[in-house]
Structure 1
Amino acid sequence: MEKYSQFRDRGSGISPFLPIPIEERSILLLPFYLFLFVIRVPILIGLSLSYLLFLQWLPIGSLGKKAILWCILGTPGIWWIDLQIDGVRRGSLGTKANKPKLPFPGTVIASSYTSPIDCLYLAAIFDPIFTVSYPNTRSVRRVGLFEAMLHALSYPRDTPPSNARLTTVADLIRDNPDASILVFPECTTTNGRGILPFSTSLLSVGPETKIFPINLRYTPADITTPVPGTWLSFLWNLCSKPTHCIRVRIAEGVYNSAPKSQNTYDTNYFDELDKRETRQRNGATNGDISHNGESSVSKEEKQLLDQIGEALARLGRVKRVNLGVKDKQQFVATWSKNRRIW
């Protein structure tokens, strides 16, 4: 792996884009694994297509949709969920005092991003509105559940598509008060061993809206998809094992207490251009948000992103790294030279 050493974080040595090695299995049990794979894949694809094409459009209510999503989750053996919430003792989640410690309609979920299963599980629990973030803008693109899952195995983009309809998280909250908004601030998937620098998309959230950091980890961890296009290996790792466990950690909600950024119409364009050129000449430091987002980020806004980033790192028992979307693009180019990922 010497050729990929440049894609390790210099401070921690973590390589967030390398696929997790497939755990060794007994050759004697290979027929059993093949049997599980052959049986589960058609059922999984059939249920997924049925939900995508028909069931999600039927008036079966949120509870009915969640039941179908749980059936999709259960098909490949995702039955064990280890859930812990900051400030809540085990067995006391159902009390009224602890209900606000979970995401609820009108709040924002800032989640780690490692696998298409992230989207499926969060949809089955919270039924949120899905968004795609990009490192160079505070705007987001609203997507559906399956488009969000496809994005987890898509080539990482540092700019939105030219025909994309963009909005902000604040606008989505205003227009959809009965739903929570799901944001993946890292913009692209990792192997779960590090937290990437954040997009600035969370900074549009108003001071009255709670943001809940959520980290998801998997056992075995080889169903993470840090490399785009690896659908076959993902399905094999997912469907050929008897069971999987999801470890879910939810931090206490935080508020965006940073003052609103100055309106662009009130800002001199040439002054902002001079500031940007100065920052580029000086180079981006380890904590510089301009490495993975808009350069015009105030100190208070950076503190908010750091607070959420530290929460995700603490929940996942990992560290934050200084590798972003452009680094992953370079990693994928290097990886694909010797491996056929498509």
Structure 2
Amino acid sequence: MRCLCNPKDQGTGIQPFLPPVPANADHSPIQKIFTAILLIVKPLTGAIKLILVGIVALGLAILQTLGIILSPLAPIHRVYHRLISAVFLRIILALLGFFWIKREVVTLRRGRSAGANKTQTANKKAAVSGELIVCNWSSYIDVLYLAFRYDPVFTQIYHESLTVRQVSLWEALLLSGSYPQLSPPEGVETLPIVEFVKSMHKKGAGPVVVFPEGTTTNNRAILKFVPIFKDCPVPETSIDITIMALKYDYHKFAPTFTVGLDHSYRLGHLFRTCAQFYNTLSIKSLAPEESPSHAHFSALDGLSSTPSGAAIGAIEAVEEDVLGGVIINLMGRVTRFRKLGLNVKDKADFLDYFILRNNGISTAKKTTAQRSSTSTSGSGRSKRH
């Protein structure tokens, strides 16, 4: 195991696995008094809202379970599931302080006006079955938003097999910040990403969401993608690809969630999120005609040098995964995030060290042994549906 006691990317100096620390600022006496009042009020509001979140989540789980009786009527079940997800998850997001979520369709081409962006935002159709939504991953809030907005099929990526499997909303929430599983456990059926999207399209299951980084970051940069697109051409016209970026703005507390190894971490972070009076999330989607699934898209467009100020840092192609290199470049230009040399394996190494520091040597050895066992069991050829 490579020690990542200081998980800093050597090229940029960014530490993507550590919670972001806000800059210190001098406060006036009045601001200090106001801060002291908030220290009393926030725990109370946080506790109340946390209880309400639990009640709403329980109600959603119950209604989803009852909806199973509609499974034989697939179209009706889909509408029912979409409706309750939209209503209940929007309430949860509001309780977490996300009262207004800004959405925008952006273009990277020169000469396009801001008015065109507004028109694209207004005219963009809802994501449909057969569409693949590719986005960065920083928190369980990402999962809640995507479930509210699209009611999609969530996936789990396996680095060793370069395949994915379907997971439920609740599983996707638990995967956020968890120890990354690099190989599928024995008996778990997985598929290459394009085959998976096509199979979901045949079932009319809605859009598919994939987090190609394979783990959560602190929303400061983009990890090296798991090369799940390595066998795909550019452009990949057999499916529709939407490149999406989720960004958080904050002052004192960041809603990003990089480490959640047990329920105490999750509950504590959820409580602090509820204690915030408001939180800010903005969503940017790349214009459909600039997607690498568009028939007239060229790999040179995705990998060309960026206009001045369009992106921060040099983002080059991934040799083993040309389409993945194109997507990460476009995502970097949309977010203005740097691309890092670190990947999901580095996150696993960092968590090994984190466990060692916080829970003792025996726990770290146990976790590492479990990961090695999982990798061994899943290192063979992945099973197909």
Q: Closer, same or farther in 2 for the Cα pair 1:335/1:307, shift >3 Å? A: same
* Secondary structure of the corresponding residue to residue 133 of structure 1: strand
Q: Closer, same or farther in 2 for the Cα pair 1:57/1:322, shift >3 Å? A: farther
**C-alpha contact 2:225 2:324 (8 A) present in aligned 1:** yes
Percent of residue pairs identical? 26
1:19-38 correspondence runs (5 A):
19-21=19-21, 26-38=35-47
Deviation at 1:80, TM superposition (A): 1.9
Is residue 72 of structure 2 the alignment partner of residue 63 of structure 1? no
**C-alpha contact 2:245 2:334 (8 A) present in aligned 1:** yes
Is residue 269 of structure 2 the alignment partner of residue 234 of structure 1? yes
Give the distance between the partners of 2:246 and 2:121, measured in 1 at CA: 21
Letter matched to residue 96 of structure 2: P
Please give the TM-score of this superposition, normalised by the length of structure 2: 0.70
Unaligned runs of 5+ in 2: 25-31, 68-76, 108-114, 296-314, 364-385
Q: Closer, same or farther in 2 for the Cα pair 1:158/1:329, shift >3 Å? A: same
Match of 2:10 in 1: 10
Letter matched to residue 197 of structure 1: K
Deviation at 1:67, TM superposition (A): 1.4
Question: Which of 263, 281, 286 lines up with 1:246 in the alignment?
Answer: 281
**C-alpha contact 1:203 1:256 (8 A) present in aligned 2:** no
1:243-322 correspondence runs (5 A):
243-252=278-287, 253-255=291-293, 302-322=321-341
**C-alpha contact 1:138 1:199 (8 A) present in aligned 2:** yes
* Secondary structure of the corresponding residue to residue 125 of structure 1: helix
Give the distance between the partners of 1:21 and 1:250, measured in 2 at CA: 27
1:116-195 correspondence runs (5 A):
116-177=140-201, 178=204, 179-195=206-222
Aligned-residue CA RMSD (Å)? 2.9
**C-alpha contact 1:142 1:167 (8 A) present in aligned 2:** no
* Secondary structure of the corresponding residue to residue 260 of structure 2: coil
Give the distance between the partners of 1:339 and 1:327, measured in 2 at CA: 18
**C-alpha contact 1:170 1:204 (8 A) present in aligned 2:** no
User: Which of 55-64 and 123-132 deviates more?
Assistant: 55-64
Give the distance between the partners of 1:158 and 1:287, measured in 2 at CA: 24
Question: Which of 93, 113, 116 lines up with 1:89 in the alignment?
Answer: 116
Match of 1:107 in 2: 131
Match of 1:292 in 2: none
Deviation at 1:225, TM superposition (A): 1.1
Q: Closer, same or farther in 2 for the Cα pair 1:314/1:94, shift >3 Å? A: closer
Match of 1:329 in 2: 348
* Secondary structure of the corresponding residue to residue 54 of structure 1: helix
Match of 2:373 in 1: none
**C-alpha contact 2:248 2:282 (8 A) present in aligned 1:** yes
Give the distance between the partners of 1:113 and 1:242, measured in 2 at CA: 23
* Secondary structure of the corresponding residue to residue 156 of structure 1: coil
Task: Give deviations 1:274-298, integer Å, cap 9, x for gaps.
Answer: xxxxxxxxxxxx9795xxxxxxxxx
Give the distance between the partners of 1:41 and 1:31, measured in 2 at CA: 16
Q: Closer, same or farther in 2 for the Cα pair 1:217/1:56, shift >3 Å? A: farther
Unaligned runs of 5+ in 1: 258-285, 290-298
Give the distance between the partners of 1:54 and 1:308, measured in 2 at CA: 37
Task: Give deviations 1:8-63, integer Å, cap 9, x for gaps.
Answer: 11111111101123788823211210111111111111211221233364253523
User: Which of 158-167 and 208-217 deviates more?
Assistant: 158-167
User: Which of 60-69 and 9-18 deviates more?
Assistant: 60-69
* Secondary structure of the corresponding residue to residue 100 of structure 2: strand
Match of 2:382 in 1: none
Letter matched to residue 257 of structure 2: T
Question: Which of 226, 229, 239 lines up with 1:199 in the alignment?
Answer: 226
Letter matched to residue 184 of structure 1: F
Match of 2:246 in 1: 216
* Secondary structure of the corresponding residue to residue 92 of structure 1: helix
